[in-house]
Amino acid sequence: MKQILFMIAVVMGQSVLAADEFQEKELTDANYAKWRDHVLPKNWELSYRKIPWRTSFWDAVIEAQARDKPILLWAMNGHPLCNT
């Protein structure tokens, strides 16, 4: 999903290459904000988290069974919404 969002961002002309231009070296009080802003994700990088993901497959099975709906599962080594 993150890869998909990357492609969407490219299409939309987002500045996904900004990180290539980041030149700050050792962390200092003076460049603290630049480093922080460089590392923190941009809004478009977090857009996949706005989807109302159930965070466990079993929760989805219980809900889908009750609502008679199919399940769309994103499965990864490491949780896709955390550390994958």
Partner 1 sequence: MQKLAAEFVVAADACDRMQKEFCRDADALLFRKFAKQRTIKKGNRGGAQGHYAVTPSGELLAASSSADSKVLVEMMKQGLAKWATLSREKRLLPKSPDPKAAENWRRKEKLYPDDGLALRVIARDQKRERWPDSNLDYAWFRKDEARALLPAKPKKGAKQNVPSELVQRLARFHLLDNVHALNYTFFPEEAIEKARLTSTVLQVKGDLVSLSFEGETRASMVSPKKIGYEPKLLGRATYNLKKQKFVSFELLAVGMRWGLGNCNQRHNPAPALMGIVFTLAGESPAERLPPAFVSRYGW
Min separation Cβ 74 and partner 1, Å? 4
| Cβ count near 6 (within 10 Å) | 14
Shortest CA distance to 43 belongs to which of 8, 80, 82, 75? 8
Min separation Cβ 68 and partner 1, Å? 7
CA 82 – CA 84 distance, rounded (Å): 6
73 is a contact residue toward partner 1 (CB under 8 A): yes
Residues that bind partner 1 (CB under 8 A): 2-4, 6-8, 16-17, 19-20, 22, 24-27, 29, 32, 35-36, 38-41, 45, 49, 51-84
